[in-house]
Structure 1
Amino acid sequence: MANVTFKDNPVTLLGTEVKVDEDAPNFTVLSNDLQEKTLKDYQGKIKLISVVPSLDTGVCAEQTKRFNEEADKLENVHVLTISMDLPFAQTRWCSAEGVKNIDILSDHRDADFGEKYGVLIKELRLLARSIFVIDSNDKITYTEYVSEVTNHPDYEAALEAAKKAE
């Protein structure tokens, strides 16, 4: 498992760490209108999944806004942000920040995504900051488990991996 800290304190990640070249596990999360969404809903598309602990924190907000800005420049790439925030809070945040180019999804109900991708922080019941790129055949082509949850991911590497995915 990835070694991850939160404010320099080690945390326990629950679930299974996914790796490049593996089949992406299917998952169930909630959209902002409380509808279930799964990986299969994005079948045939390249997916860049940006995972954040909470949209209401500085780094998470910056990360989400950055991928929202980049989404228009990516061909055939669907950008998803997943957090443990309630769908209502996600809707409010997106409206306040003008985020419209990406899907914001909530894992709060079952932590299904968090467990299947090995990013559920046991001590906090939040998701660890991470990035996954999944190709149109649902193979994982890129992963980043950010070692310190309060740090930014490698945006350029993630965007480059999304552009190269088929």
Structure 2
Amino acid sequence: MAQERTGIITFKGNPMTLLGPDVKVGDKAPDFRVVDNGLAPVTLADSGGKVRLITVVPSIDTPVCDSMTRKFNQDAAGLPDSVAVYTISMDLPFAQKRWCAAAGIDKVQTLSDYQDRSFGLNYGMLIKELKLLARAVFVIDAQGKVAYREIVKEVTEEPDYNAALEAVKKLA
């Protein structure tokens, strides 16, 4: 049974429960298994040696998630190749692929946690009541440690883009 954490996020003002551990800055980043748009598995280890900017969204097809992913895609264009940029959601890979094609997303790799929920459960980001992921940003350094974390308190609001990008640039 996954650890339940309350008092961290709300969705449209309503308190929600997060499932999984409280992953903090300085912790070894937990591994995960998600799938890419072609259903191939992707793990944290696959990008070992790189700085990872991981943005977490409830659903790519909603306005805030859409603008957040577009913003990080735009910002990723200025980052070196030593940085991997992922957006993880519970959306099906087919929906992610369609959305990326329509939105012209080419710098962010969208990944789906729908199969195992391993990212959500390992990073404490699975919302019990909605079975969606909470909105968050993680920066993992090249050695696999969490260097930055923002869990957005109100799921319908955007993260601090500048703080996340500054954290990446300090490591890249």
Scaled to the shorter chain, the TM-score interval is: over 0.9
Does residue 114 of the first structure (1) align with residue 98 of the second (2)? no
Deviations 1:102-135 (A, max 9, x none): 1100001111000100010000000000000000
Q: Could you tell me how far 1:100 is from its partner in structure 2? A: 0.8
Preserved contact between residue 134 and residue 165 of structure 1 (Cα < 8 Å): no
Q: What TM-score do the two structures reach when normalised by structure 2?
A: 0.95
Match in the other structure for 1:94: 100
Secondary structure, aligned partner of 1:3 = strand
| Structure 2: runs of 5+ lacking an equivalent | none
For residue 152 of structure 1, the aligned residue among 147, 158, 167 is 158
Identity %: 56
Name the CA distance, whole Å, in 2 between partners of 1:110 and 1:99: 25
Q: What TM-score do the two structures reach when normalised by structure 1?
A: 0.98
Name the CA distance, whole Å, in 1 between partners of 2:108 and 2:14: 31
Name the CA distance, whole Å, in 2 between partners of 1:150 and 1:162: 24
The count of corresponding residues between Structure 1 and Structure 2 is 166
For residue 131 of structure 2, the aligned residue among 116, 121, 125 is 125
Secondary structure, aligned partner of 1:11 = strand
Name the CA distance, whole Å, in 2 between partners of 1:88 and 1:72: 24
Match in the other structure for 1:21: 26
Q: Could you tell me how far 1:78 is from its partner in structure 2? A: 1.1
Secondary structure, aligned partner of 2:168 = helix
Name the CA distance, whole Å, in 2 between partners of 1:79 and 1:157: 15
Secondary structure, aligned partner of 2:154 = coil
Query: RMSD of aligned C-alpha atoms?
Result: 0.9
Secondary structure, aligned partner of 2:8 = coil
Name the CA distance, whole Å, in 2 between partners of 1:113 and 1:78: 16
Name the CA distance, whole Å, in 2 between partners of 1:18 and 1:163: 21
For residue 139 of structure 1, the aligned residue among 142, 145, 156 is 145
Name the CA distance, whole Å, in 2 between partners of 1:43 and 1:102: 17
For residue 167 of structure 2, the aligned residue among 149, 161, 165 is 161
Amino acid at match of 1:18: V
For residue 65 of structure 2, the aligned residue among 36, 57, 60 is 60
Amino acid at match of 1:45: K
Kindly report structure 1 stretches of 4+ aligned residues shifted beyond 2 Å.
none
Secondary structure, aligned partner of 1:18 = coil
Name the CA distance, whole Å, in 2 between partners of 1:60 and 1:160: 21
